[in-house]
């Protein structure tokens, strides 16, 4: 059996973390104990060529995919030319601190433990037939070679039409719309294309995991404001206090993953004034805009004075239940689009051609499609929220997205990671621990996120499991 793991060691203790069982770091106070935990015949292969060097280093060693094999004895390592042992993983410093994404980890644990996956946000139902058929048709029509780098003209136009319907803003599809491979790439192209090393970028914690990693790749300095329960409202004075002459941009997300918070007109107005006064750009991730339940979504680009300093980022995946298609876009004035397109040209160059044609058909869906989507999600949300309340969670209000955040502490587990581990193994349900979305993980230790982008039967079964097996701490 293979156990990928990493080892951290300093002079007083040794911590061994299997990345499969990510929640159980083994801390050993002396290395003798460490070696007693494996059998006499076990070879510990840490992927480091010199035998015994493993516990002499004080540096964190990110060593993944290193097998503990029960078949080999404690002998000299074979020389590297014959070795089948994997090499230690290597990663540039700018990504050293990041782990396998929490979504990947949780979805594999869901499979391993046969748990109901209310973790990673992907629907367990399919996207609409008319969109799938448009993709098949495009393939059959031979739309299979490289697309124009910044998008097939019909999709650029459909995005501009949709944006006009949603915000009233008229944008030039040729000069102000860039099609990307999912919103994650649009975010990366925006950051890499417009942020210089050392620029300060403000984010709101909890934040989507790719923000920090991408800002790190760009060499940006992250400035973080924490949104606190129950309302996760923007602490405007704190926001003002961290703006400096080096602040280049605010990277925001409304409706907000993971909390479901939607930025109010008042909050957006205050952010607008701050950005205009201090010449700050806004990168606004609005992928959940069509899943706004308690209030109307407002694109900050539509506020007076903002279009010229805003990049609006969106995608097809959530709105059309096609998260695997990875079609996204960035809408921005030409002077900002230039940088975005430069980065996009050298990241992916272009996005899947037939899927872009189908995306154009999708975005021209009648209003009834969007109404029905909201109705369906409202029903799912009610099942999950009522269910979680009846189980005993404190459920925080979620105005948009397909996520809801709860306080797990009534069940007596020490933190979000311990709670999620218990929930997977003992209850058979997967949630996302939120501490990974904070610069300071302590701030998220009481909160976990559930998604309701699953069919109603799945949501009900998850609630039933929790009712049967989760008990309030007396
Ligand atoms: N956006 C999805 C979520 O928040 C995850 C996407 C991913 O796995 N990177 O659940």
Residues 199, 333 within the same domain: yes
Distance (Å) from CA 440 to ligand 1 centroid: 20
Q: Which residues pair with 180 in a beta bridge?
A: 328
Q: Residue 192 falls within a domain, yes or no? A: yes
**Residue 183 domain flag:** yes
Domain ends where: 364, 397, 415?
364
Nearest CA to ligand 1 atom 7: 103
Number of domains in the chain: 3
User: In the prediction, which pLDDT does 11 show?
Assistant: 33
- Residue 88 resides in a domain: no
Q: CB of 164 within 8 A of CB of 170? A: yes
Residue located nearest, by CA, to atom 3 of ligand 1: 121
Q: Judge if 185 and 329 occupy the same domain.
A: yes
CA distance 58 to 65: 21
Which atom of ligand 1 is least distant from the CA of 121? 10
| pTM for the full predicted model | 0.84
Domain interval for residue 136: 129-364
Distance 12 CA to ligand 1 centre (A): 37
- What DSSP letter does each residue of 138-180 carry, written as one string? HHHTT--S---TT--HHHHHHHHHHHHHHH-----TTTSEEEE
| Ligand 1 binding pocket mutation candidate from 100, 102, 103, 291 (most atoms within 8 A of CB) | 103
| In a domain? residue 305 | yes
Task: For ligand 1, atom 2, name the residue with the nearest CA.
Answer: 121
Q: Which atom of ligand 1 is nearest to the CA of 107?
A: 8
CA of 388 to the centre of ligand 1 (A): 21
Phi-psi region of 237 (alpha: psi -120 to 50; beta: other; left: phi over 0): alpha
Q: Do 264 and 180 share a structural domain? A: yes
Average pLDDT by stretches of 10, the chain with 474 residues? 37 38 38 37 35 29 29 39 78 92 93 95 98 98 98 98 98 98 98 98 97 98 98 98 98 98 98 98 98 97 98 98 98 98 98 98 98 98 98 98 98 96 96 97 98 98 98 86
Structure tokens at 209: 């995991």
Task: Give the pLDDT of residue 192.
Answer: 98
Residues 355 and 376 grouped into a single domain? no
* Closest CA relative to residue 283, chosen from 321, 248, 237: 248
Burial class of 50 by CB neighbour count within 10 A (0 to 12, 13 to 18, 19+): exposed
Which conformational region is residue 342 in: left (phi greater than 0), alpha (psi within -120 to 50 degrees), or beta? alpha
Same domain? For 156 and 134 the reply is yes
The verdict on residue 67 lying in a domain is yes
Q: What is the pLDDT of residue 41?
A: 34
Residue 91 resides in a domain: no
What secondary structure letter does DSSP report for 427?
Answer: I
- The reply to whether 70 and 195 lie within a common domain is no
Do 172 and 244 reside in the same domain of the chain? yes
Instruction: Specify the CATH number for the domain of residue 232.
Output: 3.40.640.10
Angle at 358 between CA 352 and CA 359, to 5 degrees: 80
Is 93 inside a domain boundary? no
Residues 195 and 311 in one domain: yes
C-alpha distances (whole Å) from 162 to each of 42, 165, 289, 366 are 61, 5, 12, 11
Q: For a pocket test of ligand 1, which of 120, 183, 256 has the largest count of ligand atoms closer than 8 A to its C-beta? A: 120
Q: Residues enclosing ligand 1, CB less than 6 A?
A: 101, 103, 120-121, 257
106, 430 Cβ separation under 8 angstroms:
yes
Check whether residue 65 and residue 111 sit in a common domain: no
Residues 209 and 355 in one domain: yes
pLDDT of residue 83: 60
Q: From the CA of 257, how far away is ligand 1's center (Å)?
A: 9
pLDDT for residue 169: 98
For the CA of 432, the closest atom of ligand 1 is 10
**CA–CA separation, 302 and 289 (whole Å):** 14
Residue whose CA is at the smallest distance from ligand 1 atom 9: 103
**Does residue 231 sit within a domain?**
yes
Residue ranges with strand state E in 310-421: 310-315, 328-331, 394-395, 403-407
Mutate to test the pocket of ligand 1, among 98, 121, 323, 402 (most ligand atoms within 8 A of CB): 121
Instruction: Give the domain-ending residue among 339, 364, 389.
Output: 364
Q: Is 53 helix (H, G, I), strand (E, B) or coil?
A: helix
Nearest to 203 by CA among 272, 284, 278: 284
355 and 382 co-located in one domain: no
Domain closes at, from 327, 343, 364:
364
Give the CATH number of the domain where residue 391 resides. 3.90.1150.10
In 3D, which of 318, 309, 308 has the Cα closest to residue 286? 318
Same domain, 121 and 182: no
Cα gap 194→189, rounded to integer Å: 8
């Amino acid at each position: 059996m293979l156990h990928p793991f990493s080892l951290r060691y300093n002079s007083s203790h040794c911590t061994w973390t299997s990345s499969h069982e990510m929640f159980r770091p083994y801390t050993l106070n002396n290395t003798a104990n460490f070696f007693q935990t494996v059998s006499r015949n076990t070879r510990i292969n840490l992927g480091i060529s010199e035998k015994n060097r493993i516990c002499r280093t004080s540096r964190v060693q990110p060593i993944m995919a290193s097998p503990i094999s029960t078949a080999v004895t404690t002998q000299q390592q074979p020389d590297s030319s014959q070795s089948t042992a994997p090499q230690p993983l290597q990663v540039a410093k700018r990504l050293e601190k990041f782990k396998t994404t929490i979504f990947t980890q949780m979805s594999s644990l869901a499979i391993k433990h046969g748990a109901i996956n209310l973790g990673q946000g992907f629907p367990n139902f399919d996207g609409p037939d008319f969109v799938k058929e448009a993709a098949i048709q495009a393939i059959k029509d031979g739309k299979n070679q490289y697309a124009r780098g910044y998008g097939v003209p019909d999709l650029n136009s459909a995005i501009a039409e949709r944006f006009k319907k949603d915000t009233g803003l008229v944008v030039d599809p040729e000069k102000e719309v860039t099609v990307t491979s999912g919103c994650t790439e649009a975010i990366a192209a925006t950051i890499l294309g417009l942020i210089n090393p050392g620029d300060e970028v403000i984010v709101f914690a909890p934040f989507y995991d790719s923000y920090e990693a991408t800002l790190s790749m760009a060499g940006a300095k992250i400035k973080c404001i924490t949104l606190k329960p129950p309302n996760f409202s923007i602490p405007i004075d704190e926001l003002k206090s961290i703006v400096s002459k080096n602040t280049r941009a605010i990277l925001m997300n409304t409706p907000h993953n993971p909390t479901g918070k939607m930025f109010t007109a008042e909050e957006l107005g205050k952010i607008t004034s701050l950005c205009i006064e201090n010449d700050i750009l806004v990168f606004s991730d609005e992928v959940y805009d069509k899943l706004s339940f308690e209030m109307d979504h407002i694109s900050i680009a539509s506020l007076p004075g903002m279009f010229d300093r805003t990049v609006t980022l969106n995608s097809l995946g959530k709105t059309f239940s096609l998260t695997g298609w990875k079609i996204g876009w960035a809408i921005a004035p030409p002077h900002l689009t230039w940088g975005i397109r430069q980065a996009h040209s050298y990241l992916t160059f272009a996005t899947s051609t037939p899927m872009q044609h189908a995306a154009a058909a999708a975005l021209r869906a009648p209003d009834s499609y969007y109404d029905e989507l909201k109705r369906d999600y409202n029903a799912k949300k009610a099942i999950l929220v009522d269910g979680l309340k009846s189980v005993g969670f404190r459920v925080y209000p979620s105005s948009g997205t397909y996520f809801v955040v709860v306080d797990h502490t009534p069940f007596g587990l020490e933190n979000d990671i311990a709670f999620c581990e218990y929930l997977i193994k003992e209850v058979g349900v997967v949630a996302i621990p939120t501490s990974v979305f904070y610069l300071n993980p302590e701030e998220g230790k009481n909160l976990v996120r559930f998604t309701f982008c699953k069919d109603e039967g799945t949501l009900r079964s998850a609630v039933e499991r929790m009712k049967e097996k989760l008990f309030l701490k007396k």
